A and B are shown apart, each in its own frame.
Chain A
Amino acid sequence: GAVVSQHPSWVICKSGTSVKIECRSLDFQATTMFWYRQFPKQSLMLMATSNEGSKATYEQGVEKDKFLINHASLTLSTLTVTSAHPEDSSFYICSATWGRVDHEQYFGPGTRLTVT
């Protein structure tokens, strides 16, 4: 149980276009989803926290107008990278939790974004 999927697993887009990444909790209802960014050979950096039905909370330094997050249902959150630039190329990972006391997060497999 507690499986999180992401789609697509990899995507290539042209500079200036927008790309949407989906994060789904397959067998549980996720009250909270998190979006991370991971640069090559570096750690995961939290971008934003997304609660179902409310606006996402962005970490300091993350542009909310560039990285649009929508958490429309308890099983789906989306991250849209708007007007993508090559520096947005990265590995984007989501995780989900349902408010367990031990705060365990279940991670998706990640999405590799390459902006050309």
Chain B
Amino acid sequence: AQRVTQPEKLLSVFKGAPVELKCNYSYSGSPELFWYVQYSRQRLQLLLRHISRESIKGFTADLNKGETSFHLKKPFAQEEDSAMYYCAITQGGSEKLVFGKGTKLTVNP
């Protein structure tokens, strides 16, 4: 079965510092990986997906199949990045998302 692990429930950094939110997955096939973000009092929204290899709001994530990881990174965190971040996976061909437990990022001024 697919599983997504986000080892950090909480992550706190200062504004301007680099941030990395960890995500590891277990799946034997070819996964599709996503990062979703939920800002305070807002709905869940897609931040980025590995197949597009794009950078959104300064965030990037690289799929490392050897380490089965898809860590989310940003070189200089901003206060508005404070939110709940969820890593998610679908198996090839399926639309069903399996979410990690999420990491709450707080960027302090």
Contact = CB atoms under 8 A, between A and B. Distances in A.
Interface of A: 4, 32, 34, 42-46, 49, 93, 95, 97, 99, 102-105, 107-110
B51 A107 contact: no
A43 B102 contact: yes
Interface centre among A45, A97, A107 (most CB of B within 10 A): A107
Interface in B85-105: 86, 90, 94-102
10 contacts: A44-B44, A45-B99, A93-B44, A97-B95, A102-B51, A103-B95, A104-B46, A105-B95, A105-B97, A107-B45
A50 to B, nearest CB: 11
B90 A43 contact: no
Contact of B97 (A4, A42, A46, A109): A46
A49 B102 contact: no
B32 interface: yes
A95 B36 CA distance: 13
A34 B43 contact: no
Task: Say what secondary structure dominates the interface of chain B.
Answer: loop
Nearest to B98: A46
B64 interface: no
A43 B44 contact: no
Nearest to B104: A41
A43 B86 contact: yes
B81 to A, nearest CB: 19
B49 interface: yes
Given A43-B102, A102-B51, A34 B46 contact: no
Interface string B31-48: 010000000001111100
Contacts of A32: 95
Contacts of A95: 44, 97
A46 B96 contact: yes
